[in-house]
Structure 1
Amino acid sequence: MNIKGKTALITGGANGIGYLYAKELLRNGLKCVYIMDLPNSEGDVAVTKLEAEFGKSRAVFLVCDVSKAKDFELTFKEVLDACKDLDILINNAGIMNDSRWEFMIDLNLKALVRGTLMAIDHMGKHKGGKGGTVVNIASTVGLNAYPYFPVYCATKHAVIGFSSSIQELYEKTCVRILTMCPAVTITALITECANKALEIMDKDELIADIKKRPSQSAEHVARALMDLIEKGDNGAIWVCAKGEPPYAIKRPTYSDYRIFQ
């Protein structure tokens, strides 16, 4: 996909890695990026910085809590009314906070599913659209077990399962479904996680476990996401880990898990 002249929407894009996604897309010729985030996210500041670097009318901030269905639906419609044609949706909004596991499921999974379905409904050729791309942000813990954040791990497994399943509708919709799985990345998600685990978890063990894992910069993941959007086939699942070049993976079938004795 050549993103020059395209329009994108990023949930949770006002700061952190979401902001870097917006910056990388604009650097590569995106026409305009719409950012959805919370009222306390300083999204206006993010837009000011993006416009200072890339020009006026290249970024728009919309206050929205995507974990609330009606709020997300109305704000999504506001984006469509403004830009007419949305080409790319990046479902980035999410937290790693097992102590608020019910809210985390609402945000990490339900909002992502809702965003994907709304995007398909708008972009899909079965509804008169021209096709497009949805990028769902998962994690490498969506591919493996992670005992220190089991609920977060479950939401990311669900993201991969959902994305891998709905991508099968491509022949009908012409909407590419892509999934990015970053490993440990230096963001607030990681640096502030110690007090967000379940009470049963040992915080010292958690901190020690994270410190021993190879990390990477958020800027590296943003560049990898750009590559995924430009080069990824429908249904692609890419891993970005250790600051190394991203790579595609193939999900096993259930028979691959069989233990032969």
Structure 2
Amino acid sequence: MPDFQIGEKVALVTGGATGIGLEYVRYLLQHGLKGITILDINEEQALKAIEELGPNKVHFIKTDVTKKQELRDAFKESVQKWKGLDIVINNAGIMNDSSWELQVALNCNAVVEGCLLAFKYMSKHYGGNGGVVVNAGSILSLREFSGCPIYTGTKHFIVGLTKSFGTPYFLNLTGVRFLTMCPGVTYTPLISEAGRFALTDFPKIAEILVQDLGSYPAQQPEDVAQGLITMITKGENGSVWVSEGGEPVYEVILPDLKTWRKK
């Protein structure tokens, strides 16, 4: 069982200015982090976060993570600022099936680039010390959901990507551990405004989306952040975790070739 110590480490969080991402920043700092970089397009909220948490430990870089060069430059600047990198949380994402190209770019493409940059700066075979990457899935990573099928597809992608990077081959080569966080319904703008962003070509799909999301047990962003600490310090490489209903985070075991054949 891993026993990763957060104290005196350096982290980078995409989408860290509001919601779950901001709570990640708060909780990591509470556990002794040396420094953390927030990448976000929301400069106003990020500056408020720095004012609250302190500029000596929080650095903000305005970044559109869907733009590859901006993301690369931001990682480089963060590493130069803190003289290292130990934790990467690819948290930025949207639920917007009506703008599905942007949704795929943010929920999938930017996460891939974030993982590759994490390897570049943390991997032992590039001279780094190893580290931890947490990618943002969803409770919808683990089931079908007619209310937002494209969003659900992007979150299934996250599980496949993260589990595949979270195999012994990559861990032995790089020393980088990969984890998936799958939050349930959490009180953030992504959920409260979800009905506005459903597919427009299907009658009542927005209603279905809102009703189905309302059937899940809800929680606050800080509930997810508490679970993040457990994952980072204790989670096995490649593991998938669920945080829902304000309950303690738990690991899920996905079926494999030996168990998934229909009887």
| TM-score computed with the length of structure 2 as normaliser | 0.94
- Between the aligned partners of 1:36 and 1:201, the Cα distance in structure 2 is 37
SS of the equivalent of 1:229 reads: helix
- Between the aligned partners of 1:78 and 1:184, the Cα distance in structure 2 is 34
- Number of positions where the alignment pairs a residue of Structure 1 with one of Structure 2: 256
- Between the aligned partners of 1:230 and 1:41, the Cα distance in structure 2 is 31
Deviation at 1:41, TM superposition (A): 4.8
Runs of at least 4 residues off by over 3 Å: none
Contact 2:194/2:209 (8 A) holds in 1: no
- Between the aligned partners of 1:165 and 1:68, the Cα distance in structure 2 is 24
Alignment partner, residue 177 of structure 1: 178
Determine whether 1:97 maps to 2:70.
Answer: no
Q: What is the identity, as a one-letter code, of the residue corresponding to 1:112? A: V
Alignment partner, residue 63 of structure 2: 64
Alpha-carbon distance change, 106 to 221 in structure 1, aligned in 2, over 3 angstroms: same
Please provide the CA RMSD for this pair: 1.2
Alpha-carbon distance change, 99 to 254 in structure 1, aligned in 2, over 3 angstroms: farther
Deviation at 1:201, TM superposition (A): 5.1
Alignment partner, residue 14 of structure 1: 17
Contact 1:35/1:43 (8 A) holds in 2: yes
Q: What are the within-5 Å matches in structure 2 for residues 173-252 of structure 1?
A: 173-199=174-200, 200=202, 202=204, 203-252=206-255
SS of the equivalent of 1:214 reads: coil
Q: What is the identity, as a one-letter code, of the residue corresponding to 2:246? A: G
Alignment partner, residue 112 of structure 1: 111
Q: What is the identity, as a one-letter code, of the residue corresponding to 2:98? A: S
Gaps of 5+ in 2: none
Deviation at 1:140, TM superposition (A): 1.3
- Between the aligned partners of 1:241 and 1:157, the Cα distance in structure 2 is 17
Determine whether 1:145 maps to 2:144.
Answer: yes
Contact 1:148/1:201 (8 A) holds in 2: no
Deviation at 1:42, TM superposition (A): 2.4
Using the TM superposition, name which of 124-133 and 203-212 deviates more. Answer: 203-212
Q: What is the identity, as a one-letter code, of the residue corresponding to 1:68? A: K
Contact 2:146/2:209 (8 A) holds in 1: no
User: 1:102-133 deviations in whole A, cap 9, x for unaligned?
Assistant: 01100001100100111112111111111111
Q: What is the identity, as a one-letter code, of the residue corresponding to 2:172? A: E
User: 1:188-224 deviations in whole A, cap 9, x for unaligned?
Assistant: 1100111101011512232222222211111111111
Determine whether 1:32 maps to 2:35.
Answer: yes
